[in-house]
């Protein structure tokens, strides 16, 4: 630490490996606090705070955008960026009472693969009165949906890279870039904004809860949205994106197109944040917020509980270097040869203790589920820690002809959901560092890839057992 503090510019950084753990928000807070107290915030070589094409933090403070103080019906969790924790979604659907979720729209997502306690999530989604997906294909979630609305894909619309570079300024060398549509939409494809505007009008629920916003956006869409002459498909026009750029005093869309490698923006400078862009009422960086201090006070109890699970292994999730989440598994060349499943990676000491060898099947059991998966021995891991790549488990995806034939298992079946299983400060589900028991496979299953989901007699939990090869 002394070396870090004495360095001429230094920065601590962490990402999903830490942030998805049981105390991810505390770890991230500690990291940023160290950056601040060592003088490495807002300085060359340290942590710089970028700014998009407008100051989004200042905009949110002034307008209340993404700063709702509403509390969830289940667990009383505050909203973060105007969203409740995904880890309580199943409870919000399955728990009767005022405010019970009975209809759900999913845009470009796949909660049955990506969210915690996927077995219980499947039960919850199956109980909905209405489930609608907006996507370019029918994935696991879409296979349960009552309707799938066809959205345009990135090649079918003009585009600007939006959230990270334009709004948040998360680029080390800021730039703007634009692309034209390359392929015509087909059939009834529409961009997501047009779909939600039409839905808002049809059901009398205006976008953002504002009739004025609904009317304004409808007029903008009518003026700047191009309709494909050969179909009912619609895509937002370049004029609409050009208007966004012009309002924020950026180069126009046509200029960006003339520079296919992008147009540089003013780099983020050291000294541009402290005393200038802090939006707290007292203009100070608050290093000891009440919620995080309370969370830190629970660490001793959590440590005691962890020591009591000394016989269990800790399972971390990982991304396989030859895939990206679940996106590539529906391409024959990406799941060819032996790459049709994920594996459980264990240290050789643990493999010997458990009684399994490389290639053997093992049962991995958490508080929520059991999955069956082949073993790979990997001595890069610490003894007592096992690792399972995420993004697999496509057997229910009726719209994915290739991926549905793979035999990998969904690691998020093993992650718990509910109010007691998420970070109280951030609402993040605990998707890594999960206590599990690993044993040799208990015997063959009747199915070759998926045995279904059944109720566990010993607990009110879903148990899924999946063959991993």
Q: What is the pLDDT of residues 21-42, one digit of tens each?
A: 888 899 999 999 999 999 999 9
Rounded to whole angstroms, the Cα distance separating 159 from 67 reads: 27
**In this structure, are residues 68 and 94 in contact, taking their beta carbons and an 8 Å threshold?**
no
Question: Residue 446 above 50 pLDDT?
Answer: no
**In this structure, are residues 42 and 273 in contact, taking their beta carbons and an 8 Å threshold?**
yes
Question: Residue 447 above 80 pLDDT?
Answer: no
pLDDT at position 247 is 85
DSSP track, 294-320 = HHHTTHHHHHHHHHTTTTSEEEEEE--
Question: Residue 468 above 70 pLDDT?
Answer: no
pLDDT at position 451 is 36
Sequence-distant (≥ 6) Cβ neighbours of residue 204 within 8 angstroms: none
Alpha helices, DSSP H, located in 78-210? 89-94, 111-114, 118-126, 140-144, 192-203
Q: What is the pLDDT of residues 305-362, one digit of tens each?
A: 877 777 789 999 988 888 878 888 998 988 888 789 999 999 999 999 999 999 999 9
Confidence of residue 164 (pLDDT cuts 50, 70, 90): confident
Confidence of residue 129 (pLDDT cuts 50, 70, 90): very high
**In this structure, are residues 425 and 24 in contact, taking their beta carbons and an 8 Å threshold?**
no
- Tell me the domains of the chain and their CATH numbers: 1-45 (no CATH), 56-264 (no CATH), 312-464 (2.40.40.20)
DSSP track, 203-216 = HT--GGG-HHHHHH
Q: What is the pLDDT of residues 204-222, one digit of tens each?
A: 988 878 888 888 888 877 7
Give residue 259's Cα distance to chain centre. Answer: 32
Q: What is the pLDDT of residues 46-92, one digit of tens each?
A: 999 988 888 888 888 888 888 888 999 999 999 988 899 999 999 99
**In this structure, are residues 287 and 36 in contact, taking their beta carbons and an 8 Å threshold?**
yes
Number of H helices, E strands in the chain: 15, 15
Q: What is the pLDDT of residues 289-311, one digit of tens each?
A: 888 898 888 888 888 887 777 77
């Amino acid at each position: 630490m002394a070396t870090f503090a004495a360095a001429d510019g230094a920065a601590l950084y962490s990402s999903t490996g830490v942030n998805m753990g049981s105390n991810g928000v505390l770890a991230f807070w500690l990291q940023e606090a160290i950056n601040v107290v060592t003088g490495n915030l807002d300085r060359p070589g340290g942590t710089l705070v970028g700014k998009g094409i407008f100051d989004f933090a200042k905009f949110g403070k002034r307008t209340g955008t993404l700063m709702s103080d509403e509390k969830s019906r289940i667990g009383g969790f505050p909203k973060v960026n105007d969203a409740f924790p995904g880890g309580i979604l199943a409870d919000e659907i399955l728990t009767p009472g005022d405010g019970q979720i009975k209809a759900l729209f999913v845009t470009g997502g796949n909660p049955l693969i990506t969210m915690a306690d996927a077995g219980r999530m499947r039960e919850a989604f199956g109980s909905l009165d209405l489930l609608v997906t907006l996507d370019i294909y029918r994935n696991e979630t879409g296979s349960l949906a009552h309707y799938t609305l066809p959205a345009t894909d990135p090649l079918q619309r003009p585009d600007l890279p939006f959230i990270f570079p334009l709004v948040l300024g998360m680029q080390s060398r800021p730039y703007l870039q634009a692309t034209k549509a390359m392929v015509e939409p087909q059939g009834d494809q529409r961009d997501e904004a047009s779909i939600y505007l039409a839905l808002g009008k049809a059901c009398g629920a205006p976008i953002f809860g504002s009739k004025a916003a609904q009317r304004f956006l409808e007029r903008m869409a009518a003026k700047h949205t191009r309709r494909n002459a050969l179909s009912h498909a619609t895509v937002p026009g370049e004029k609409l994106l050009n208007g966004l750029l012009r309002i924020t005093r950026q180069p126009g869309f046509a200029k960006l197109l003339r520079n296919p490698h992008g147009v540089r923006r003013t780099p983020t400078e050291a000294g541009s944040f402290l005393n200038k862009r802090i939006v707290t009422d007292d203009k100070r960086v608050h290093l000891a917020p009440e919620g995080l201090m309370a969370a830190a006070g629970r660490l001793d109890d959590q440590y005691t509980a962890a020591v009591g699970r000394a016989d269990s292994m800790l399972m971390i999730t990982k991304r396989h270097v030859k895939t990206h989440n679940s996106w590539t598994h529906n391409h024959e060349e990406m799941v060819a040869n032996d790459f049709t499943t994920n594996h459980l990676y264990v240290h050789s000491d643990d493999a010997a203790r458990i009684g399994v060898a490389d290639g053997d099947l093992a049962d991995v059991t958490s508080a929520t589920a059991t999955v069956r998966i082949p073993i790979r021995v990997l001595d890069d891991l610490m003894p007592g820690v096992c690792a399972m790549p995420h993004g697999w488990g496509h057997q229910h995806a009726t719209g994915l002809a290739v991926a549905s034939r793979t035999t990998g298992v969904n690691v998020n079946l093993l992650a718990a959901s509910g109010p007691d299983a998420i970070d109280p400060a951030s609402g993040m589900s605990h998707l890594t560092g999960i206590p599990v028991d690993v044993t040799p496979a208990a015997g063959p299953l009747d199915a070759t890839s998926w045995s279904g989901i059944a109720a566990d007699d010993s607990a009110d939990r879903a148990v899924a057992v999946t063959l991993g090869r």
